[in-house]
């Protein structure tokens, strides 16, 4: 029996409009005119005999039928997108393309990949630094993401890797006698380094002031004085290593720098604070059940656990 299939071009146009809630942004993504996208969507509506979009001024919203179609279509298009890597991947292929943020890569991951290859010489890692899930990012087999606890649950496509401790760090050269401060109030005499102008929760010095019982916490955040505001965690840690001030560090990222003496915990005794976000590994649908993928993911979790134990004991493996 011949299948009665909806036209593919209009499905792609509808998917873009549904994701962006905009004909203009959908047209930009597809490289066509706005009127061409509108025409394609109307063609799909005519084929299905239902209204998929409510056209507003400005923007659009999905009808009930449109919302139902979007959910089903996204799954189908993800499956189609996975055809190319599945067909391209040769039987017995041993290379995995791994992506992670540049800070995690530079401060922790890359220097440990050699150990992974020593244990699993049959698996080659092609590492790619990535910062977002934006359109145009390179195709990856496995990606390390930093996400909320709610989004970190294990599924057939992802596994939780590690959750980091958070605590202030600095170069020993800016501390009296090079030793961590026994009095948290002494932090107020040092320049502070902060990631971004409006950090939330444990990434804010206002949070740490309250946590430590200091008096310099303000409703709009801590005044940094002669400190620095930088837009990247890696830059914050680099500035701390260079003696520019005290940064709020993450346990995995600072482990090696503490081990070799470039950084030390700023406080002799600090509250035990866990990051509100968790690192997960997410892999492409065609790698569900793939042995090499699971070997890599298990190794990442184990390496992170070993590093965390070392930090808690004052050293790093």
Please check whether residues 107 and 56 belong to one and the same domain.
Answer: no
Global model pTM greater than 0.85: no
- Contact yes or no for 163/274 (Cβ under 8 A): yes
pLDDT category, 124, cuts 50, 70, 90? very high
* 140 in a structural domain: yes
Contact 106, 232 (CB under 8 A): no
Please check whether residues 107 and 74 belong to one and the same domain. Answer: no
pLDDT at 85: 54
Q: What's the structural domain count of the chain?
A: 3
- Do 50 and 103 share a domain, yes or no? no
DSSP code for 267: B
Confidence of residue 217 (pLDDT cuts 50, 70, 90): very low
- Asked if residue 87 is part of any domain, the answer here is no
- pLDDT at residue 295, rounded to an integer: 95
Shared-domain flag, residues 238 and 196: yes
169 and 270 housed in the same domain: yes
Q: Is the pLDDT of residue 194 over 70?
A: yes
Tell me whether residue 35 is in a domain: yes
CA–CA separation, 252 vs 236, rounded Å?
A: 15
Residues 140 and 230 in one domain: no
Looking at the fold, whether 170 and 243 belong to one and the same domain comes out as: yes
Residue 20 lies in a domain: yes
- Same domain? 32 vs 71: yes
Please tell me whether residues 105 and 159 are part of one structural domain: yes
Tokens in use for 193?
């380094």
Which range is least confidently modeled, 40-49, 87-96, 118-127? 87-96
Phi and psi at 195, nearest 5°, equal -85, 110
> CA separation (Å) from 209 to 89, 186, 199, 304?
53, 11, 14, 29
Q: Give yes or no: residues 157 and 282 share one domain.
A: yes
Mean confidence (pLDDT) of the chain: 84
Residue 96: pLDDT band (50, 70, 90) is: very high
- Do residue 258 and residue 170 come from a single domain? yes
Cβ atoms of 112 and 241 within 8 Å: the answer is: no
Does 106 have pLDDT greater than 90? yes
Same domain? For 177 and 262 the reply is yes
Q: What is the pLDDT of residue 134?
A: 44
β partners of residue 125: 96
Mean pLDDT of the 175-192 span: 91
**What CATH number corresponds to the domain at position 212?**
3.40.190.10
Question: What local confidence, expressed as pLDDT, does residue 114 receive?
Answer: 92
Query: Residue 202 domain-assigned?
Result: yes
Instruction: Tell whether the model's pLDDT for residue 13 goes beyond 70.
Output: yes
3: in domain: no
Range of the domain at 229: 165-274
Here the CATH number for the domain that contains residue 35 is: 1.10.10.10
């Amino acid at each position: 029996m011949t299948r009665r299939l909806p036209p593919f071009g209009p499905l792609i146009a509808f998917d873009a409009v549904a994701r962006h809630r905009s004909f203009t942004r959908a047209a930009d993504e597809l490289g066509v005119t706005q009127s061409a996208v509108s025409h394609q969507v109307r063609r799909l509506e005519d084929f299905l005999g239902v209204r998929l979009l409510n056209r507003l001024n400005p923007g659009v919203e999905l009808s009930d039928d449109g919302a139902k179609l979007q959910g089903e279509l996204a799954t189908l298009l993800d499956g189609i997108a996975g055809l190319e890597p599945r067909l391209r991947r040769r039987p017995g292929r041993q290379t995995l393309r791994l992506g992670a943020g540049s800070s995690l890569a530079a401060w922790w991951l890359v220097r440990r990949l050699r150990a992974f290859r020593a244990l699993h010489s049959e698996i080659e890692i092609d590492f790619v630094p990535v910062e977002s899930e934006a359109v145009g990012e390179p195709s990856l087999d496995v990606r390390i993401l930093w996400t909320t606890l709610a989004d970190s649950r294990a599924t057939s496509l992802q596994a939780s890797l590690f959750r980091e401790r958070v605590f202030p760090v600095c170069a020993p050269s800016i501390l009296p006698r090079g030793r961590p401060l026994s009095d948290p109030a002494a932090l107020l005499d040092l320049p502070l380094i902060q990631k971004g102008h409006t950090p939330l929760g444990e990434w804010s010095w206002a949070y740490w002031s309250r946590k430590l019982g200091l008096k310099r916490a303000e409703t709009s955040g801590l005044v940094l004085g002669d400190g620095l505001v930088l837009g990247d965690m890696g830059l914050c840690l680099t500035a701390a290593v260079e003696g520019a001030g005290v940064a709020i560090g993450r346990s995995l990222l600072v482990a090696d720098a503490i081990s070799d003496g470039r950084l030390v915990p700023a406080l002799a005794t600090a509250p035990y604070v866990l990051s509100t976000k968790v690192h997960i590994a997410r892999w492409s649908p065609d790698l569900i059940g793939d042995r090499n993928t699971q070997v890599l993911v298990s190794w990442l979790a184990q390496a992170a656990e070993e590093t965390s134990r070392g930090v808690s004991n004052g050293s790093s493996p």
